[in-house]
């Protein structure tokens, strides 16, 4: 039997587009002699569909897509993820299902058993868990078909009472197929591999794994579909961050043998963190624009490292002809900030324009002077500069059909160093899940072969340049310290005492954590953040705005 793993990018709710993409893959696989082609979890409707799943029309279109795809499965079988209606009254209305299609119809359906309900996952909100375990029989093979989380209940402290493979192994399967929608994070590739290898070793079964590729709003899916031997070795791995297809020959004589139908590619077991982050963010930008039907991005280029990085990523994702960098200097902007910005724009070959804001800012002050009279220059005036820039950028974006890219980093978002309706404007937050220290490291990686981002941008002390001689260090600890404290609190969910035990001043820890919690209201109004860590701001981190914890 020849099995083809088809790692494709799907668009949530785009039933026609998703279906046609799978039909093309099925037809190509037929020509190549494939017996069984495998697609990923919820491939018909895209993942995550969220509250679209509550619309009967949405589910009806998904089910029609399955019938359409089944009609092409003559001379070939397919496994396709799709939601299905629960046929009984009890329980949730839907199942997260894997359809086995053969001979022009639906031969069998396997439902997902373990429904994740943590971080960015919210599946138990919509789906009923499976309670019936049965193998798929195709040709002479018995297949244990599972869906994503069904393989993740493999540790010393399992989250779920039931483990699907514990039930399926009793029926003597020849191998496992797992279809998934597993989003990228800095630790996910390693954790995913560990999980797959652990299952192969525990059950002594080969595993075929098919994952989503692409991006859906804030989530990036990295692919990495693979074949794992029963001994627990990654024999072959599909490309990361791009669509890919690969086939395998499965034979059963005295024992099961599986081999690649073409030359196996070497598996890169050691991943480069910053290469993967760059690829993830680039893909996130590209698909956010494609799926919204936009092609052009605009952003404010300040001469700082954050906007420099976002500009580089935008050029990679959208092409130099589709990126417009706007310099918005004030009377407090340094000459090198302007010159560094122009150098970067020239290095990337993108359009750049300069709009000084001093006169516009002064007009705001003149208008407000009867109310501000007698008060000192302070944070309000600093914020007015940021909001002046936001108004101008949004005006240009609206007028010419651009999406404004937000350039705030995770360190700033955490402690509230951002101005609503100013530098927090934007359609998508590109680096809002990267700490400042990570941004420096990513830029160094980008410059590994030649200087793309001017060295002066990487070496100068960070500053918002909203008042004379302003530096971030005036009110914040060094980013090397700040980012560690933030990581322990946000990603590791440590309390203040636990963080202090890591070697930090307790009063500093208390001050930083108070800043994080007091600024939750701002983050609720921030643009969606491309997720690259295991705990990003957004749907995966749900804390109260008005809670009184640590302040």
For the chain, domains (ranges, CATH) are: 2-271 (3.60.110.10), 275-472 (3.40.50.620)
Active-site residue, selected from the candidate residues 148, 226, 425, 443: 148
Q: What is the pLDDT of residue 467?
A: 66
Q: How far apart are CA 202 and CA 25, in angstroms?
A: 33
Give catalytic status of residue 443 as yes or no: no
**Which secondary-structure segment (H or E) carries 31?**
helix 15-31
Convert the pLDDT of each residue in 343-364 to its tens digit.
999 999 999 999 999 999 999 9
Active-site residue, 41 included: yes
pLDDT of residue 252: 86
Residue 312 makes CB contacts below 8 A (sequence gap 6+) with 344, 348, 446, 452, 453
CB distance 224 to 192 below 8 Å = yes
Q: CB atoms < 10 A from the CB of 25, how many?
A: 21
Q: What digits encode the pLDDT tens for the residues 468-513?
A: 776 777 779 999 999 999 999 999 999 999 999 999 999 999 999 9
73 in active site:
no
For the stretch 521-545, pLDDT in tens is 999 999 999 999 999 999 999 999 9
The pLDDT assigned to 334 comes to 77
pLDDT digits (tens, 9 = 90+) for 265-322: 778 889 999 999 999 999 999 999 999 999 999 999 999 999 999 999 999 999 999 9
Provide the whole-model pTM.
Answer: 0.95
- Catalytic residue, candidates 112, 410, 436, 535: 112
Rounded distance between C-alpha atoms, residue 82 and residue 45, angstroms: 7
C-beta separation of 169 from 143 below 8 A: no
């Amino acid at each position: 039997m020849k099995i083809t793993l088809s790692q494709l990018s799907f668009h949530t709710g785009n039933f026609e587009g998703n279906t046609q993409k799978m039909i093309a893959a099925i037809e190509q696989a037929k020509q190549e002699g494939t017996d069984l082609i495998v697609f990923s979890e919820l491939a018909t409707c895209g993942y995550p569909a969220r509250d679209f799943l509550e619309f009967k029309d949405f589910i009806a279109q998904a089910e029609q897509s399955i019938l359409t795809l089944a009609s092409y499965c003559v001379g070939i079988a397919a496994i396709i993820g799709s939601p299905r209606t629960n046929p009984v009254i009890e329980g949730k209305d839907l199942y997260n299902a894997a359809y086995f299609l053969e001979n022009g119809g639906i031969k069998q359906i396997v439902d997902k058993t373990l429904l994740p309900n943590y971080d960015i996952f919210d599946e138990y909100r919509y789906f009923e868990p499976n309670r019936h375990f049965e193998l798929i029989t195709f040709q002479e093979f018995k297949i244990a078909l599972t869906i994503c989380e069904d393989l993740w209940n493999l540790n010393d402290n399992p989250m779920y009472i039931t483990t699907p493979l514990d039930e399926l192994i009793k029926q003597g399967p020849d191998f496992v197929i797992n279809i998934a929608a597993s989003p990228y994070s800095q630790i996910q590739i390693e954790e995913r591999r560990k999980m797959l290898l652990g299952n192969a070793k525990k059950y002594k079964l080969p595993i075929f794994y098919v994952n989503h590729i692409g991006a859906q709003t804030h989530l990036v899916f990295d692919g990495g579909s693979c074949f794992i031997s029963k001994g627990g070795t990654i024999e072959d791995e599909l490309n990361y961050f791009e669509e890919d297809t690969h086939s395998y020959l499965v034979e059963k004589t005295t024992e099961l043998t599986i081999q690649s139908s073409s030359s196996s590619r070497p598996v890169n077991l050691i991943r480069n963190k910053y290469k993967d982050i760059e690829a993830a963010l680039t893909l996130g930008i590209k698909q956010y624009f494609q799926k919204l039907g936009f092609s052009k991005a605009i952003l404010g280029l300040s001469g700082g490292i954050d906007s420099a990085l976002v500009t580089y990523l935008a050029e990679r994702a959208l092409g130099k002809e589709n990126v417009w960098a706007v310099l918005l200097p004030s009377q407090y902007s340094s000459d090198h900030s302007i010159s560094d910005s122009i150098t970067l724009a020239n290095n990337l070959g993108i359009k750049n324009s300069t709009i000084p804001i001093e006169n516009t800012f002064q007009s705001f002050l003149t208008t407000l002077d009867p109310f501000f009279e007698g008060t000192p220059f302070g944070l309000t005036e600093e914020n007015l500069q940021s909001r002046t820039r936001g108004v101008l950028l949004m005006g240009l974006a609206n007028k010419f059909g651009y999406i404004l890219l937000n350039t705030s980093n995770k360190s700033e978002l955490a402690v509230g160093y951002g101005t609503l309706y100013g530098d927090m404007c934007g359609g998508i937050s590109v680096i809002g899940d990267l700490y400042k220290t990570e941004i420096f490291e990513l830029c160094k990686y980008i410059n590994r072969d030649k200087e793309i981002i001017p060295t002066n941008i990487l070496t100068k002390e960070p500053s918002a340049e909203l008042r004379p001689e302003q530096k971030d260090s005036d009110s914040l600890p060094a980013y090397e310290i700040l980012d560690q404290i933030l990581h322990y609190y946000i990603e590791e969910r440590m309390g203040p005492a636990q963080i202090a035990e890591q070697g930090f001043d307790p009063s500093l820890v208390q001050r930083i954590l108070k800043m994080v919690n007091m600024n939750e209201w701002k983050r609720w109004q921030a643009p969606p953040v491309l997720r690259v860590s295991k705990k990003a701001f957004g749907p995966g981190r749900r804390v109260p705005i008005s809670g009184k914890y640590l302040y």
